[in-house]
Structure 1
């Protein structure tokens, strides 16, 4: 039975700031390629690895990994707000399998996810509830964070579980490459911001809008080069993509968190969603499937190195 891998960057700024017609056209074409792949594949189940940006997970209880048994999107940055189509029995069984394999995951019966999950489902599937999905959260922003090698082990465990299912399974990784958006850090945050990082669920519409406007303003300044945010790092992005496509596990496992922050930015840890999705796919196919990078471009207007990757193969 076929399995599919897709990885893509996401950005909350896509609908707010234009990077120019040429960049937009290349990006649109790359995403359309993934959308066509997913439609042709017609998945019966998607394992979606994604991060959060202090919209659904907070420091009052911050797991390294969490499997959603039931959940919804919060609708930030005009993404679709609604229930995820999560088969609870499969999600619970997946979490149980991961625990039996030595991966300490949390579960959530009220998972809230933001654009990191909603955007890929909308862009590739057309709606957040169109396909059955098991959402798997990786903490990629709130220190202390897990390592690349633990993200790989998580993905491999998901791949082993998926191989037991008689379903067409897709593994999707959603995360940025190099990017350092204005996400506050708990250690030096003012008291009111620290409280939001600790327990900021379900903000008022006004509070969410104000936060989004600050991000949009920061992106415009970043594109003009008038901000202190860390610049994008295309060389680092391309090296990571090459390493991932070659599935150089030794080099991936050796990537240290401090070096990821130094070279890619505070939010570049979202590459761990790509590592987990690749690990799941390669485990499910027995390592016999080819993976290709289709697109990469640094897009300052979106404060992100943006890329796409995919692979398809038979279950091993």
Structure 2
């Protein structure tokens, strides 16, 4: 059965005051086109590769990858709060298959996911519970990080397993591209912030509201060319997207974590969710990208991109690489 792919950037600022209407309308148009692609494909199952922003995973135990056999949204930034429709046996079988393919992956039977997982589900499917979903956490924030090539290996193993399910599966990657938002870092966090990224705990409404205001203010500063965040890097973003569009996933073998952070910002590591998703699709052979949207969006503190893709059996690898 076929696989299809949709990768999108996410941002809590899509639903918060601040970004100009023209920017939001442009991005919404691209997301609407991606949602039409998803509706036409009509997936029976969605498998997400997504990061976390210290809402479900903390330094008390930080795996590089984790498959959820049950999951709930934490409800940050107005996204869905409560259980997702996760088929437990199918998710466990996926994890076992990935382990058998020599990719180390953890399993969570009570995964908590944030807007990085839930926002794309809501935008593309109408609601976070519209389809059965298997969430796969890809650590993209908490150092030390695995190399980008390991995300490709993860996606390849996942795709090989999905091909045998006999279902229409949508592979969804969420995150990136170049961006450097105010996410706490272990090296500099102190006091309650450090305690949270180490041990977690449920945030109060007041704490979430305070964090939301901090994000809005950081976006205002960044859009005005102020503040400590590293600038966006559209050239890097386009280089990354071109490698995906042309099927050159082996290019990521030499992309070091230090280089990614220095060139595109600390949260640019979220592109490993895209790399994993495209590797899952590539495990079925050559593919064709359809929707290709990209826009540097300082008001969202992100290089914002959307891609859709499908397997194309009649296309050979050389043709994939040559496509403009």
Q: TM-score, normalised by structure 1?
A: 0.96
Structure-2 residue corresponding to 1:296? 294
**Other structure's SS at 2:229 match:** coil
Closer/same/farther in 2, CA of residues 199 and 93 from structure 1, 3 Å limit: same
Once the two structures are superposed, residues 254-291 of structure 1 have per-residue CA deviations (whole angstroms, 9 ceiling, x without a partner) of: 111001000110100000000000000110x2x22212
Distance 2:38 2:290 in 1: 15
Q: Give the 5 Å matches for 1:89-108.
A: 89-108=89-108
1:18/1:205 Cα in 2 relative to 1: closer, same or farther (>3 Å)?
A: closer
Q: Give the superposed CA RMSD.
A: 1.3
Give the aligned partner of residue 60 of structure 1.
Answer: 60
Determine helix, strand or coil for the equivalent of 1:178.
coil
Aligned residue for 2:183, secondary structure, equals: coil
Residue equivalent to 1:48: 48
Give the 3 Å change call, closer, same or farther, for CA 84–315 of structure 1 in structure 2: farther
Distance (Å, rounded) in 2 between the aligned partners of 1:281 and 1:18 = 36
Q: Which runs of 5+ in 2 are unaligned?
A: 315-324
Q: How does 1:175-194 map to 2 (within 5 A)?
A: 175-194=175-194
Verify: 1:204 aligned to 2:201, yes or no.
no
Counterpart position of 1:265: 265
> In structure 2, the residue corresponding to 1:311 is in which secondary structure?
strand
Alignment of 1:71-82 (within 5 A): 71-82=71-82
Equivalent in the alignment of 1:2: 2
Q: Is the 8 A contact 1:2 1:314 kept in 2?
A: no
Query: Structure 1 pair 44/314, CA: closer, same or farther in 2 (3 Å)?
Result: farther
Q: Secondary structure at the match of 1:309?
A: strand
Gap regions ≥5 residues in structure 1: none
Partner of 2:148: 148
Q: Runs of 4 or more off by more than 3 Å in structure 1? A: none
Q: In the TM superposition, what is the alpha-carbon distance from 1:196 to its structure 2 partner?
A: 0.8
Change (3 A) 1:74 1:52: same
The structural deviation recorded for 1:193 is 1.4
CA distance in 1, matches of 2:250, 2:165: 29
SS state of the match for residue 17, structure 1?
coil
Aligned residues: 314
Q: TM-score normalized by structure 2? A: 0.94
Structure 2 residue matching 1:188: 3-state secondary structure: coil
1:80-131 C-alpha deviation (Å, 9 max, x unpaired): 1121110001000000001111111110011000000000000000111110
SS of the residue 1:176 aligns to: coil
The Cα shift of 1:227 comes to: 0.7
